[in-house]
């Protein structure tokens, strides 16, 4: 389906879904950064919570976006990943991202904190733990 043939709700959903996906990828990248550097801060835990919320939604949807049926009802039957990937790769994207996310959280748990950021106004930005 082309952008021009989509209704307003379907176009709005695609923009929201794309924004959500970019934010999740940024959060996943930040979790990996923190796992590798040992950094711990509120932004890290917000990113972990964000990914866990997405994981819970995928569990509810049995591996598919739980809003998929609503998306189809709004006139957009194309799964989001199929907008940017071939169908076979799109099907593999969720399990692959779940594995990468699980590995990031495991790396975070296994890596001892190295840097602890203080709250603004609490002295230096970073100090050794």
Grouped pLDDT means (10 residues each) for the chain, 129 residues? 86 92 96 93 96 91 85 90 92 92 93 64 50
Q: Dump pLDDT digits (tens) for 47-63.
A: 999 999 999 998 888 88
Note the pTM of the prediction, 2 decimals. Answer: 0.79
Domain boundaries, the chain: 7-128
42-60 helix and 87-110 helix, angle to the nearest 10 degrees: 140
- Residue 114 CB partners (closer than 8 Å, separation 6+): 37, 38, 39, 128, 129
> What proportion of the chain, given as a percentage, has pLDDT over 70?
88
DSSP string, 37-105: H-EE-HHHHHHHHHHHHHHHHHHHTTTS-TTHHHHHHTT--S-GGGGTS-HHHHHHHHHHHHHHHHHHH
Q: pLDDT tens for residues 119-128?
A: 565 555 554 4
Distance, in Å, from the CA atom of 69 to the CA atom of 62, rounded to the nearest integer, reads 13
pLDDT of residue 3: 84
């Amino acid at each position: 389906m082309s952008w021009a043939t989509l209704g307003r709700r379907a176009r709005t959903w695609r923009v929201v879904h794309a924004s959500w996906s970019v934010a999740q990828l940024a959060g996943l990248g930040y979790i990996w950064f923190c796992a590798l550097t040992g950094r711990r801060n509120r932004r890290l835990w917000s990113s972990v919570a964000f990914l866990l919320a997405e994981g819970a939604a995928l569990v509810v949807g049995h591996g598919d976006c739980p809003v998929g049926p609503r998306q189809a009802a709004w006139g957009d039957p194309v799964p989001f990943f199929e907008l940017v990937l071939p169908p076979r790769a799109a099907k593999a994207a969720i399990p692959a991202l779940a594995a990468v996310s699980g590995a990031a959280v495991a790396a975070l748990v296994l890596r001892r904190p190295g840097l602890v950021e203080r709250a603004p106004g609490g002295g230096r930005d970073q100090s050794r733990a």
